[in-house]
Amino acid sequence: MTKKSIARNFLKLAASGHSHEAFRLYTCKNFKHHNAYFKGDADTLMLAMEESARTNPNKIFEIHHVLRDGDLVAVHSHVKQNSTDSGVAVVHIFRFESDKIVEIWDLGQPIPKKSINENGMF
């Protein structure tokens, strides 16, 4: 399995409410993350992802681009909490050690209802 497919699978599992499985399969013991809204350990992020999936059972998660540079993988996606939500453009950056995720950064930008940019966000 490639690092790109591991990153994809991790995010798809987490978005669909299977964060425990995502962390069990794809992260290493010394995992850390950089989301400013949660403590930096695996358990805190895993529980937050689980709660998000439970609170938003109709979440739509669509991956648009996956890029790899050595031990780093970036995933550009569109996350909507439900079908009427405009959503957020998100970039997750994963750092790997061997074939396990050791570190994650995530950045998001809300998608405006109207945009002057004719190219869109994806």
Q: Does the pTM exceed 0.85?
A: yes
Give the pair of three-digit tokens for residue 35. Answer: 């989301």
With CA atoms as reference, report the closest residue to 52 among 30, 85, 76.
85
46-71 in b/e form (b: 16+ CB < 10 A) is bebbbebbeebeebebebeebeeeee
Q: Does residue 42 contact residue 53 with C-beta atoms inside 8 Å?
A: no
Walk along the chain (122 residues) and give the pLDDT tens digit of each residue: 999 999 999 999 999 999 999 999 999 999 999 999 999 999 999 999 999 999 999 999 999 999 999 999 999 999 999 999 999 999 999 999 999 999 999 999 999 989 999 999 99
